[in-house]
Each structure stands twice: as structure tokens, then as C-alpha cells.
Chains A and B, each alone.
Chain A
Amino acid sequence: MTNHWVDIKNADLVLIMGGNAAEAHPCGFKWVTEAKAHNKAKLIVVDPRFTRSASVADVYAPIRPGTDIVFLGGLIAYLLANDKIQREYVVNYTDLSFIVKDAFTFEQGLYSGYNADKRSYDKSSWDYELGDDGYVRTDPTLADPRCVYSLLKQHYARYTPDMVERVCGTPKDKVLHIWELIASTAVPTRAMTIMYALGWTQHSIGSQMIRTGAMVQLLLGNIGIAGGGMNALRGHSNIQGLTDLGLMSNLLPGYMTLPNEAEQDYDKYIAARAQKPLRPNQLSYWQNYGKFFVSFMKAWWGDAATAENHWGYDYLPKLDKPYDMLQTFELMSQGKVNGYICQGFNPLAAAPNKAKMDASLAKLKFLVIMDPLATETSEFWRNAGVHNDVDPAKIQTEVFRLPTTCFAEEDGSLTNSSRWLQWHWKGANPPGEARSDLEIMAGLFTRLRKAYREEGGAFPDPILNLAWKYAHADSPAPEELAREYSGSALKDLADPKDSTKVVRKAGEQLAGFAELRDDGSTSSGCWIFCGAWGPTGNLMARRDSSDPTGIGQTINWAWSWPANRRVLYNRASCDPSGKPFNPERKLVGWNGSAWGGADIPDFKADENPAGGMGPFIMNPEGVARFFARGAMAEGPFPEHYEPFETPLGRNLLNPDQPQAISNPAARVFKDDREAFGKAEQFPHVATTYRLTEHFHYWTKHVRLNAILQPEQFVEIGEALAKEVGVENGGRVKVSSNRGHIVAVAMVTKRIKALTIDGRTVHTVGIPIHWGFTGVAKAGFLANSLTPVVGDGNSQTPEFKSFLVKVEKA
């Protein structure tokens, strides 16, 4: 979330699209009801299903799964055509005026530089035109035909209301009504927030859907302001924190990235990430990358990280390609993975194509499960009848199942969607012999370290040198770890302005990432968390809920990264002179000598606005990008591509280019491509989702939740039910080219058949929460049906749109 949960109450308009906040985040959704009740806000829901969110919406419109870019692209065209944009905002705070290279082209759904064999782009033409001064050329009048504004307008001109109705199936009058409402927030005093979740991420073009939403928000001047923003509603309690801490194949803590194998030179690795400003007097905060990186390496390898060994640069594994979950399971299915550790994760249920998962796990030599609950993955080898029809005798995998504590049985912090780190306290001991993950990870590590110390082995250095200064090596305390990732001074730190003054003594905790240095004198395991445990103690445990300005800024409650800032890009809530666009909901402002207000300014605190520094300080441009440059796999502007299993078989926006039916830059493995189904055999569009009564595959173990939704069902519209001859409460078999499930049919008015390009397309709703363990009625894992193809950038599987066939069971 760029903003935070409580801030939603400041919105004048709420757009829920690609998510179902009422269903998945009810307690956060209260701030939508609050905005409606006390801010006269209107709520718009666009979703393939009439959801729980829709049940309290002012306007609901249906949409075919996977076509959101068409709806939003049409909206962009509408806003530009009707000049419903916040001009002062977009001219000053975005790249609309920037000139793009001449070589950049877009034709028939493909951008310049496409390589069909590699299914990827040479992105060199996707960039701004630089002037002789080394800075990007701009045209503040937005008249230049090669400026981003002109290209944007041109790109989305094809996305007409008629096209939207044809592709999305959304009635045109509804479309125009919603667009008109949204356009009303182009004025500086009205804010719209967009709330989305897996309904946008779980598509092969998910990242681009989100980008399209963000572009709409930028045009309307809704980023960085109270009640605005692009608010991703993260699914799990600490998925934000674990991503912040870099627990992904290509990341390091704080969104630093692992080096590629070509990056053998440490200095070049740093230089490529510490980007120089693209416009005059821009902060380009990533220029400090070296400070973050060195402090991180010092946290991990302590004294073994020295300037001489480039702070242990060789200790880091180098990437040849991404090793995301889908890639790893592909390798596993090929027999190239021997061992696998699942810590609190149930991939048999969570990853696409269960049949492939079953087969892949069976090829492992060993599998380690760390979990408080008996997951399906831990029992993938067990024959559970129709729900998991395997032969244990044929599965040679050794499986270890280690019981862990749950939230109630441990101290620690979790980072929520608002980027708040909140400390929690243990209330009881775990059952039986269960142990915390800390003890288990430490137990494994100390055993491995001992073995490498005593027996030697492959490249033992990073293991033997790993800093492990915990009071109990087998059980590091959460407090020790929190202090470590937050960071401390390793030597006395002198004031950069006056070297005689010591600003931080050796061993003292640091107050924030501004204190980090790249000379090895500071340590911080995750620079964006720096200051969470500061010189005054554990700020994550703060419990002052006062909100002096009444706009929901409780900045003394817990601690938010970065730097306890609650609304990202909040500098953009002020006009170029530093005056708030909406004084009623002032976040920050320039008082003539400093920035301040209800939030921590997302800006250089003493930077005079007259200097023209842009509010998007992490970008070298200083402004927000409509033109993504090389940051996205598919292209600088979002373009609609069909789901890989499309009911149409063609892309109505680019009907003559077969390479542009589905995402041309998405990675698809051969076996997975062969497992795709065609609309002739599988005529119905399926979409998977969560119900509010359950949380993923956990709460089927929870009696109270099992009572609320005891048994697996699928939702189908009345027309489809009639077609397949099933009554409400009867049973249906839903098959894809990868497997099938059998479930109770819930026949509902909430899912309607849509007319797409003159044809009727039925949608089938598949809630995901059942499986073959737990106290709820046993059911099929929903991912028996789902296809293995990820988003072109994030590799998030396409769970929201695929093809199935529904039959009476």
C-alpha cells in the first residue's frame, strides 16, 4: 500500500477492482464503510462476480476475468480525451513531458525489439531521449508528438468504450458511468483510492494491470495524497515483511537485488543500482545503494566482510536466471532438485497444477516441513482417496515434519500491508514439543556449521564466517535479531559536518538509514527497517494511538518503514510551491524552512521546493513514470493480452498478430504449454478466489471456520446451471486439461454470463479452501485445475482466468 488502512477513510471515491476487500480484508474494509458513512464517499466495484464488496457498493459492474487493462486503458483514453487530469500534478510530478527515443515503436500488440524465439524484448529502445546535458529532454507543453503524453494518448486511443464492452463484457452505460465518477477526482480536492489484491496479481499480465491502475491514479493526481494511492492488499500477515526482508529468489533485504552472474565486478554491481539523476537537482535516493549494501553485508558477515573482499561479495550466490517457485517446481519435475524445505507454506495446495506438484515432490530425496499444522504438502505421499490418489509405496521421498509455534506462542514483529512493523508478545507455550522457527533454523545452521568446520566441504567460507553472535547459538532471541536488522554503529560515527563530534557511539543502535555508511562502520540487516529498534528502543512496540489531526495519522503507533513514514510519496500531496493541494487533509507542507505535518515527509526534509526536486525520490527522474522504460517485461505501456487459456482464441485489440494473443514476454515451460486447454474442449472461464470465512488452507483446520463454510462448492450462474442441467445444491464436476474437482454447485444470480464479442461466455467461481487434511469436509485442492504460467514480471501464477468444463457429476 502506498497509503495505509485508516487513511482509506479520507477517500471521496473508492475503486475496488482486482480484489474483494470486504471478503479478504474485512477489518481493513471498515475504513471504506467509514469513508462512505462520514466522508460521503462512493464505492465502485468492478469484478467478474458480484462479491461481498459489491454487496455494499454504490456501483457494481461485471467484467470478464483478465481484461482489466482494457477497462482501465479505456479510462485513460477517456480522461485524456476529456482533459479530466490534474494538470499541475502530471506536468510537474510525472514523466508526461519527457521525450521518448525515436526507435521506440508499438505495432500490432508488440513493442520494438521483440524476439519471438526467446519470448523476450531487447529493451534498448524503451527509454527517454537524453539531451546534451545528460538529462532527459522534456516538453512541458506536452505538445511534442514524441513526449510520453502524446504516446500515451496514441496508445490508448484504440481502447474505446465500444471496445471495452466487446472485450470485457461490461455494459457500456455502466462503463461510462464509472468513468465519469472516477474522472470527478481529477480536481485537487477529491481523492480516489484503488484497492486491489490477487485479482490483479494472479494474471499473466498482472503487473501491467496494476501499472494501469497506477497510471489512472497519477493522471488524477491521486498518488501521495491522503485518501488516495495504489493500495495492494497483501494476503498474509507478514508477506510484506518477508518481501521487505528479501526472501525471494532474486532479492536481498530492503529491495536490494542479488547480483547476476555477469556482475563479477563489485563496483559495477553497485554502480548499476546507484543510479545518477536523470533530471537536474533530483535526489535519486538509490544513489545510497552502496551504504545500504555494505551495512547489510556487515550485519551478515561481520568482521569477515571487509573492504578488501568487497564486503564478502563472493559469499552471495550469483543468478543465471530467476529461481522463483514456478521455476523451482519445473526443475523439480525434471528431477533436478533433491531437497526441499517448506517453512509454513503448503505448495501442494498453493502452487498451480497439483498433478505436476505431486509428481515433482515425489522426485525429491528429502522434504522438510516446518509448520504448526498438518498441511497437505507434508502428506503428499498419503493416499487420501479421490482427493489425493497416490501410491505411497512408489514414493521414495524422506519426509520430516517439524512442529512449530504459532503467533500466540512467540514474540516478534509482523509487517502489515501499510508497512507497519508491529511487535507482539507470547501468551502461552506451544503444544507438545513444538519449537519456534528460530530454534529450528538455528539448530540446522549450527549443525551444518559444525559439520563444515569439522569435515570441510564445498565453499564453507560464508557458512563459517556468518555472524552468529547470539547469546544462545541454538535459539537466537527475537530481540537480538530485531536489533540486528535495524542496525547499529560498529565504530564511533563522526558527524559528517563536524568530524570532532560523535553522533553515534560504537554499539549504539542507529536512528535511521540516513546514518548508514559504506565504509563498514555501520551494520544494518535491512536498511528500510533501520530505526525500527533505534537508540530509544523498540519502536515497533509503541502503542500510542493518538491521531492529533484526525486524518488517521497515528504516527506513534508501532513503526512504519521507511523512516516511520505512513503515506508514501506524500510530497506529491502539495503543489510545486509546497502548499497542500487539499488543506483539509494536509499530510505535509513546506513552512519556508522545512517540511513537516501529520506525516514524516517523503522528501529531503530541508529541500526548498523552488529547487524543483521531484516527489518520487527513488526514481532517478524524480517523477513518476507513465513510460516504464525497461522496468517491465512486456513493454513500457500496459497492453491487453488475453489469458493463456482464453475463451476467445484471439486478442480483439490486436486481431492480426498471433504472437500478441497472450503475454508475448511471459515465460512458459514446454510441459506447461502442452497442458493448456482450448476453448473448444473447455468452454467455461474459471476464476479461483477466497471466501471471507476461510484463510487459504489454514482455517479448514479451525473448527469455528469449518462450521461457517464446511464443504467445497463452486459458484455458477443460473444460465450455465440450466445448460449443464444442475440444480442448486447438486454436484458438478469441473475439469481443466490438468485435472478435475467435484463439488457442490452453488447456483447464483451473482455470476452472470457475459456477452463477449457477440458470444456468451460463462464464468465459474472456484473458492480454494478445501483439501484432504483438517476438520472441514474433505475436498479437492482447487489447484488441481490451475495452469502453470506466471506473470511476465513477478511470476505470479494465472489463477484468476483459465478454462474449464462444467458437467453434472
Chain B
Amino acid sequence: MALQSLDIVRRSATTTPSPQAREAHAGEVAKLIDVTKCIGCKACQVACMEWNDLRDEIGSCTGHYDNPADLSEHSWTLMRFSEHETAAGDLEWLIRKDGCMHCADPGCLKACPAPGAIVQYANGIVDFHEENCIGCGYCVTGCPFNVPRISKRDHKAYKCTLCSDRVAVGLEPACVKTCPTGAIVFGTKDDMKQHAAERIEDLKSRGFEHAGLYDPAGVGGTHVMYVLHHADQPQLYANLPAEPKISAMVGLWKGMSKPLALLAIAATAFAGFLHYIGIGPNEVDEDDEAAARREMEETR
């Protein structure tokens, strides 16, 4: 089966399994972002907006190169610039392309209450289907990377689709294609890991002894990975989480609490039902009325 097969393997808010028979036998896809090659030119931001027919606000300069200032329903990816001085006193300009990581275990999908608003394809892409989105923002709560954004205009959730429409016809995502320096590459996840290994070897030869791949296990690995010069300190890159995982709160909320709550409610109702059958109603009989009348007359 081709890479571009976009059979849905997981749907949000769906309690039964999606069709599982078809698998990505040729390998799941992944985007590898080599931060050490990135020059922060923002071509990926433009290509993303252009391909997806989005135009963000023309904002203002706040003393940073980060423009637009944050992800939004119109900016599904953006560069985050950090100036870092090493212990040796050398300056490093660390530029990270932020956006959806396409987690193998997506917190957004887990949190989403709307059936089919968030899906995961067999090739690993996690996609939002805005027509099913109800705008609750639970995906924002669920995401360990703070990626989904809710539009102020239509209250739908938006994020990078990994250009599922391009990948579906066998093309690479728009940001990957445009990247001038080859800092963004795309292929099967295995190939991307191998590519990353070559890059890491090169970086180590250039003195970056902690160079490494960012493919966090806490979310089951991701379909967007980074090569970092300082893989030991991901937080240097505009607070990339060191050990991202779906929050325990979200796990509780979307995990055990759901069946337990329904069970508790049902059990309460059922207990009442049993009581009614077993013991029956508490009724006022004529004796009670008579006693009441007596007392009323006495009082009068």
C-alpha cells in the first residue's frame, strides 16, 4: 500500500475501533526538522499559509523576530527564536519551527468530545476535521505541546495537517518542499530516523556532543521530530518540553473518570430502583392524617 493511504485508524470521541485492516506497510510518515540547519527564514510559514489558503493578521514588531507572535488558526507553524549564550561565551541563535508534532498518542484526540473532529490516519498524521469540531477547546487542554488554536471567528480548532491533502496524493507537505536549506525533510519515519542519525554524527564531529533526536516516548513518539544540537536541553529551544506526555489530569478526565462517572450515576439510580422494589414508598396513611388532625385540634 502506498504511503499516501489516509485510512483513519483513530477517531476522537468514538468508543469502538475504526477499521484497522489496512495498515501503512510501507512505513508511517514523518517530518524531520533539523534545527541545526534552520536559518529561520520562515519560508515554511509562508508555504503553509499559501498552500492552506490562510492569511494571518499583519501584526506589529514586539522586539522579536517571532512574527506572527503565536500560532493561530491562520498560522499553523511558526519560527521561535531564542538567543542562547554557551558556557564558552559563544552566541547561538536557536530557531525552532513550532507546530503540531503529530503524536503517536495524541492528547488532542484523547480529549476531544466530538466524534470525528480529530482523526489519526494510518500513516501517522493527526488531522482536525473542522466540520465536526464543536469548538470546546478540549484539544488545547489535551495537547502536551500547546499547539491547537481556536479561532475567535468561527470557534473551530485549527492546527497543522501535515498537508494531509498533499500527502494523500503522494506529495510532501508544503513546508517541507519549500525549506531552502533542507532543514525540513519528509519520508517514512524509519528513513527520517536514519537521516537524523547521520546528522547527529556530523554534529558530534563539529563539537555538539549532546546532539540528538527529539522523538519523545511520552507521547508514543511523534511524526514530527527534531534534530537538536543540545538534545539534553530541549527547553533551550523556546521551551520545548523535555519529557512531554499527556497530562495526568487529562488522563484522569478522559480515562477512568468517564466509565466511573457513568457507573456511579447508573448505580445511584439503580439503588433507588432496588429500594423502591424492596422497601417501597413511604406513604402517609389515614392514621397519620388523623393524628395530625388531633394535634391540630389540641393546639387550637
Query: Could you list which residues of chain A lie within 8 angstroms of chain B, going by C-beta atoms?
Result: 22-23, 26-27, 29-30, 33-34, 36-37, 40, 50, 52-56, 58, 60, 692-693, 703-713, 727-730, 744-750, 775-777
Contacts and interface: CB of A to CB of B under 8 A. Distances in A.
A54 B93 CA distance: 8
B91 A60 contact: yes
B60 A710 contact: yes
Most chain A beta-carbon neighbours within 10 Å: one of B41, B43, B60: B41
A54 B40 CA distance: 12
A760 B193 CA distance: 48
Nearest to B206: A58
B63 interface: yes
A704 B46 contact: yes
B220 interface: no
Given A26-B41, A713-B61, A749-B91, 4 more contacts: A22-B181, A713-B63, A745-B63, A746-B63
Contact of B58 (A23, A712, A729, A776): A776
Nearest to B56: A707
Interface string B177-218: 000111100000000000000010010011000000000000
A606 to B, nearest CB: 42
* Interface SS majority for chain A: mixed
B254 interface: no
Interface residues of B, number: 40
Contact of A56 (B37, B43, B68): B37
B39 A55 contact: yes
Contacts of A775: 58
B55 interface: yes
B63 A729 contact: yes
B68 A707 contact: yes
B59 A692 contact: no
Interface string B88-100: 0011110100000
A55 B61 contact: no
Interface of B: 36-43, 45-46, 49-50, 55-65, 67-68, 83, 85, 90-93, 95, 180-183, 199, 202, 205-206
Contacts of A744: 60-63
B63 A707 contact: no
Contacts of B68: 707
Contacts of A50: 91, 93
A693 B63 contact: no
Given A22-B181, A26-B180, A30-B182, A55 B93 contact: yes
Contacts of B183: 33
Ordered nearest first, which 5 A-B pairs have the shortest CB separation? A729-B63, A26-B180, A728-B63, A711-B61, A55-B93
B4 to A, nearest CB: 25
Question: By CB atoms of chain A within 10 A, which of B63, B95, B180 has the most?
Answer: B63
A58 B49 CA distance: 32
A386 to B, nearest CB: 17
Contacts of A745: 63
B91 to A, nearest CB: 5
Contact of A30 (B65, B91, B181): B181
A805 to B, nearest CB: 21
A750 B41 contact: no
B41 A748 contact: no
B233 to A, nearest CB: 17
A767 to B, nearest CB: 10
Given A22-B39, A750-B91, A709 B199 contact: no
14 contacts: A30-B182, A37-B199, A40-B202, A52-B93, A55-B40, A56-B181, A60-B90, A692-B39, A706-B58, A708-B67, A713-B63, A748-B83, A776-B58, A777-B60
A178 B43 CA distance: 31
B49 to A, nearest CB: 6
A29 B42 CA distance: 15
Nearest to A709: B67
Contacts of A713: 61, 63
A746 B61 contact: yes
Contact of B95 (A29, A36, A55, A711): A55
Given A708-B46, A749-B91, A692 B58 contact: no
